[in-house]
């Protein structure tokens, strides 16, 4: 099983560019989340989804858009990249909101905005 797959692993952008971070899971999980992790800090929730067609904002949503057209995919879009968005981005999926042991994370995307 691939689990949660994030692409790309590394990305460098110039200020003002847009891009989409991809996240796909093959476990048929209803729930998915996006986090960012700045150096030396914990993870902060950007957006999450409780099923196809349903998304909501997390703690730090500004500058990011998400959509969930299928159960498998949950892409994160940066509309106009800023240096403050330099971070490592993690995607997670889980089948049951009350089952913390079933929270699976991808390997992360390291993004640098110059």
Partner 1 sequence: DAKTTQPPSMDCAEGRAANLPCNHSTISGNEYVYWYRQIHSQGPQYIIHGLKNNETNEMASLIITEDRKSSTLILPHATLRDTAVYYCIVRYNTNAGKSTFGDGTTLTVKP
Min dist CB 16 to partner 1, Å, is 27
Min dist CB 82 to partner 1, Å, is 23
Burial of 15 from C-beta contacts in 10 A (0-12 / 13-18 / 19+): exposed
CA-based radius of gyration for the chain: 13
**CB nearer to partner 1: pick between 3 and 16:** 3
Helices (H) and strands (E) counted in the chain, each on its own, are: 0, 11
**CB nearer to partner 1: pick between 17 and 75:** 75
Min dist CB 92 to partner 1, Å, is 6
């Amino acid at each position: 099983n691939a689990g949660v797959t994030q692409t790309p692993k590394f990305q460098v952008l110039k200020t003002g560019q847009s891009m989409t971070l991809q996240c796909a899971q093959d476990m048929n999980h209803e729930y998915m989340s996006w986090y960012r992790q700045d150096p030396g800090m914990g993870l902060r929730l950007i957006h999450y989804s409780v099923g196809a067609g349903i998304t909501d904002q997390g703690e730090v949503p500004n500058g990011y858009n998400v959509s969930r057209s299928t159960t498998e995919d949950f892409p994160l879009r940066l509309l106009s990249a800023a240096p403050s968005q330099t971070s490592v981005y993690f995607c997670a999926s889980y089948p049951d909101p009350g089952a913390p042991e079933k929270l699976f994370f991808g390997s992360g995307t390291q993004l640098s905005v110059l």
